[in-house]
Amino acid sequence: MVELTALIKSWFWFLKPSKVLFKGTGIYSNIKVTRRGDRTNLYTGKNYLQTSVDNTVKPYGSYSDWFLAAPWLSGKFDGKIDSLLVLGLAGGTIVKDFNRYYSINKIAAVEIDPLIIELGKKYFELNDSNLTTINADAGSYFSATSEIYDLIIMDIFKENVFDITCQSKGYFQELKKHLSAEGIVFINKLKSDPANIRLSADLKEIFKNVITLQIQDTLFFAATDSLSAPTTRNGVQDIFITASKFNPDLKYFNHINPRSIGIV
């Protein structure tokens, strides 16, 4: 009953009165932070909801909850990550969720807008001891660093448009140089984006294994050279069964429709 109450709460948060905490202008668009009940929201541009955080609600299978699936798709995940890179920080949902459920040694988060970084620290509690925020353009970040990562998550949107400078074949060839031997890159795209066809082909040329997950209106791409990565739908499902047992809050992994899984 408690779990059902929390789920209903997560569905109807928008019916509560909203309080504006901040309104201002970033380098690309207007930015607004609001609070409704226990939920803090970050809006950009023409009221586009960029981040929505309520730490009292457990993950239940929304598209944003599926970022937590990323490390499992390497096939050799034990709940620990030495080095995580997040491209596109926004309000830091990914950072908070990964620190909540996994053991992360260090996290680097790249965000192009310094105002977003400031608001994240002030309103979204982005002061985790293992987090380093980097004010930089994700499109040129890899040419300025020598760091190696076990997991790279790409959530790079300007409103609802994926950053076009971060999806070329050359970009992913450079990105791969910054992945560990069994590292994985996990990319959030809208499933309706026509560029996904080209992206799928490019990733397959660069990486040994490419997996897609269609979750609601989102198409996630997972690419890795890990020899342990699943190569069939059944293999992906088996990994998610294992993951769902790792923590009871991740049981939604076990409910994925097999037809939502793609092997490129």
Q: Which residues are catalytic?
A: 155
Q: How far apart are CA 207 and CA 223, in angstroms?
A: 6
Tell me whether residue 164 is exposed, middle or buried, using C-beta atoms within 10 angstroms of its C-beta: 0 to 12, 13 to 18, 19 or more. exposed
DSSP 8-state secondary structure symbol assigned to residue 246: H
Q: How far apart are CA 161 and CA 44, in angstroms?
A: 12
Report CA-CA distances (Å) from 260 to 52, 68, 103, 115.
25, 16, 28, 36
The strand pair at 149-154 and 80-87 is best described as parallel
Q: What is the DSSP code string of 111-167? A: ES-HHHHHHHHHHS----TTEEEEES-TTTGGGG----EEEEEE--EETTEE-GGG-
DSSP 8-state secondary structure symbol assigned to residue 78: -
